[in-house]
A and B are shown apart, each in its own frame.
Chain A
């Protein structure tokens, strides 16, 4: 016992000496300012996982429906060698989870993938189907350089799939080596099997015509508002492959270099978030490497957004249909799109961190929250027997004319449908500003029952086919008890 202990202490002592020597060596080397580099291992899975974490496959959260049992390896199928990855795609109602998804991560500190231009793998399925989402750059700690390809067609023969790297020079230390999410949507809910083999990064050289895009390539011009940020979306990289096929991947914002034409009006950060800081016009553009991205955002900033006054009633007195101040009850539609006579377009729009409802081409439109009108989208109607008022804020986005009106209608879906109406006239509205209304439910003439209210209709028509007010903002629509 004692001897052993002595031995091991000696050994530690020696090791400590070695460590000291090693450290002093490293100090000298670091004077030459050599950048740390990470291994450039290309293979992710061949017949075995290559340099991955011990877990190998880490499923996304089973509580969200990801089925961790659907993943396995298969020693009876392989494109090359003796083994492949096998995914048994579950039916949507599988008790273990209705779809499969997760990540393969590097077991070290990440890999230098800057010498490659694509992730490639071979794939086949037990039937023709679609692989919903596959890529790399995703880990459980982030997706700074996430790259995703959607809707990859699967056949019963092995096929090589290419996921182009949007800009390889960015991937000098990447841990997210492979990730996917897929289910049985493409087969109408019928389970099937997918095999994947030979997952690796490659320098193909045959990829070309890199065409990045922001906002899906659209040039968007819109009003911007002070201190109301705008998140750029639709960030893609499209690449032509050896077979002549264009491959488009969703690329995370960190691949892009963003540019603002006037940083005194708006700035943009690495995540594609535009911050509006001043009055004027600004154009936001982007590029990946030397390739200018299609699409741009032009904001005309006149001032701040005029939000509706914030509600002050205690939440326990409120049943909210639409408000950022309260938790809204489930609503099936904020625009009913009633066919065939409704002309009204629009619905919920995001204004920075908040949202409002914006209707255009108004004749009539409903907010639908019942289990009758659209059975496939059924939600519980509101039992308003204990509630006294309806609140809403309206901002008319045009000049008001004499005779303009908005008639509100509440429908109760009881044993018989009853409808009550209340008309807001032009004198109570304000052009380009908010008007707040607290309407006693007893003022909705004809609303005899209130135990199953499930539709709030806005109608600007005065007589058939004669709409008056066309464009409105709405906010803070809720029932309450006084």
Chain B
């Protein structure tokens, strides 16, 4: 009995929060219960209970250049990723390595922390210069499906992708948040820019996050909500072709710094190396 009462009260409270934050155009879900985080307080390699490395240039994964003609080779060396002084440092370097001219790192929580819905946020300081393409993003866990009587794993973009923060080093005041799914992926993905008026992303830390609930993904930078997407938006953007794949599976977190390729263009001689993406924390709330 008691339990039921408590739940009821909580439900009411939640309701009242909703009504407070409701406005004409978007619905804000406030999630404040921390369920997972890495504060990067232990110097050394990133905590293996939270993170594993994607290694290579994508060839082994069947997507050379990681599907975008990117130039870097990802390693798990401390030269490319380490925790020190309370932050995670991902360093992109210009060096010959395994036939590539750049090295960097890509960390994921795949198989270690995968979750559906919640507030995912990170506090990050970014590098600058043409060719840098850092990101904080989520990929959906593939399900086993039946194709012509054969059990196979889903592939991208069927699994869904939520890009919480992407940034190009030659646009140091702008980030963008994006959803990819079936019939709205790659160049056809649904994306929105956010630009700082009197500040940059490479001089100080900024907080990048999403609040993800059934049928909604809200994007924010610091305390500014700038993008809100629902199945209706996907329908509208794709003439009904797109499929909302964000209600039926957990997603895992990826942090990486890519160099060059289709989206940012390749570095120029003026691009400074090495440079770092510095992550103060990654937190997930419910």
Contact between B169 and A244 (Cβ–Cβ < 8 Å)?
A: yes
The B-contacting residues of A in range 202-232, CB under 8 angstroms, are 203-209
Contact between B128 and A209 (Cβ–Cβ < 8 Å)?
A: yes
Contact between B170 and A205 (Cβ–Cβ < 8 Å)?
A: no
Contact between B198 and A240 (Cβ–Cβ < 8 Å)?
A: no
Among B60-68, B82-90, B102-110, B199-207, the one that faces the other chain is B199-207
Quick one: which of B129, B130, B169, B198 contacts A204, CB cutoff 8 A?
A: B198
Contact between B171 and A244 (Cβ–Cβ < 8 Å)?
A: yes
Quick one: which of A204, A207, A244 contacts B170, CB cutoff 8 A?
A: A244
Quick one: which of B130, B196, B197, B203 contacts A244, CB cutoff 8 A?
A: B130
- Report A-chain residues with C-beta under 8 Å of the C-beta of B223: none
The A-contacting residues of B in range 92-147, CB under 8 angstroms, are 128-130
Chain A: interface size category: 10 to 19
Whether a CB of chain A sits under 8 angstroms from the CB of B270 is: yes
Whether a CB of chain B sits under 8 angstroms from the CB of A94 is: no
* With known contacts A208-B128, A208-B203, A209-B128, A244–B198 Cβ distance under 8 A: no
Whether a CB of chain B sits under 8 angstroms from the CB of A72 is: no
* Shortest distance between the CB of A477 and any CB in chain B (Å): 43
Look across to chain A and name the residue whose beta carbon is closest to the beta carbon of B168. A244
Whether a CB of chain B sits under 8 angstroms from the CB of A246 is: yes
Chain B: interface size category: 10 to 19
Contact between B172 and A240 (Cβ–Cβ < 8 Å)?
A: yes
* With known contacts A208-B172, A209-B128, A240-B128, A203–B198 Cβ distance under 8 A: yes
Contact between B203 and A209 (Cβ–Cβ < 8 Å)?
A: yes
Contact between A246 and B270 (Cβ–Cβ < 8 Å)?
A: yes
Whether a CB of chain B sits under 8 angstroms from the CB of A482 is: no
Count of chain A to chain B residue pairs whose CB atoms are closer than 8 Å in the complex: 40
* With known contacts A242-B172, A244-B169, A244-B172, A205–B128 Cβ distance under 8 A: no
- Report A-chain residues with C-beta under 8 Å of the C-beta of B198: 203-206
- Report B-chain residues with C-beta under 8 Å of the C-beta of A244: 128-130, 169-172
- Report A-chain residues with C-beta under 8 Å of the C-beta of B169: 244
Whether a CB of chain A sits under 8 angstroms from the CB of B185 is: no
Chain A at the B interface: SS class: loop
* With known contacts A240-B172, A242-B172, A208–B130 Cβ distance under 8 A: no
* Shortest distance between the CB of A110 and any CB in chain B (Å): 26
- Report B-chain residues with C-beta under 8 Å of the C-beta of A242: 172-173, 200
**Complex-state Cα separation, A89 to B196, whole angstroms:** 39
* With known contacts A244-B172, A246-B270, A208–B196 Cβ distance under 8 A: no
Look across to chain A and name the residue whose beta carbon is closest to the beta carbon of B127. A209
- Report B-chain residues with C-beta under 8 Å of the C-beta of A209: 128, 172, 202-203
- Report A-chain residues with C-beta under 8 Å of the C-beta of B196: 205-206
* With known contacts A240-B128, A244-B172, A206–B199 Cβ distance under 8 A: yes
* Shortest distance between the CB of B277 and any CB in chain A (Å): 15
How does the 8 Å CB contact mask read for B180-206 relative to A, with 1 for contact and 0 for none? 000000000000000011111011000
Look across to chain B and name the residue whose beta carbon is closest to the beta carbon of A211. B272
The B-contacting residues of A in range 234-265, CB under 8 angstroms, are 240, 242-244, 246
* Shortest distance between the CB of B125 and any CB in chain A (Å): 11
**Complex-state Cα separation, A22 to B169, whole angstroms:** 57
Look across to chain A and name the residue whose beta carbon is closest to the beta carbon of B204. A208
The B-contacting residues of A in range 107-127, CB under 8 angstroms, are none
* Shortest distance between the CB of A242 and any CB in chain B (Å): 5
**Complex-state Cα separation, A174 to B37, whole angstroms:** 50
**Complex-state Cα separation, A417 to B235, whole angstroms:** 90
**Complex-state Cα separation, A206 to B128, whole angstroms:** 13
With most chain A CB atoms within 10 A of its CB, the pick from B128, B197, B200 is B200
Contact between B202 and A208 (Cβ–Cβ < 8 Å)?
A: yes
Look across to chain A and name the residue whose beta carbon is closest to the beta carbon of B198. A205
**Complex-state Cα separation, A207 to B169, whole angstroms:** 14
**Complex-state Cα separation, A240 to B127, whole angstroms:** 12
**Complex-state Cα separation, A209 to B173, whole angstroms:** 12
Give chain A's interface residues, CB within 8 Å of chain B: 203-209, 240, 242-244, 246
- Give me 21 A-to-B residue pairs in the complex whose CB atoms sit less than 8 angstroms apart, sorted by A's number: A203-B198, A204-B198, A205-B196, A205-B197, A205-B199, A205-B200, A206-B172, A206-B173, A206-B198, A206-B199, A208-B200, A208-B203, A209-B172, A240-B129, A240-B202, A242-B172, A242-B200, A243-B171, A244-B130, A244-B170, A244-B172
Known: A206-B199, A243-B170, A244-B129. 12 other contacts (CB 8 A): A205-B196, A205-B197, A205-B198, A208-B200, A208-B203, A240-B128, A240-B172, A242-B200, A244-B128, A244-B169, A244-B171, A244-B172
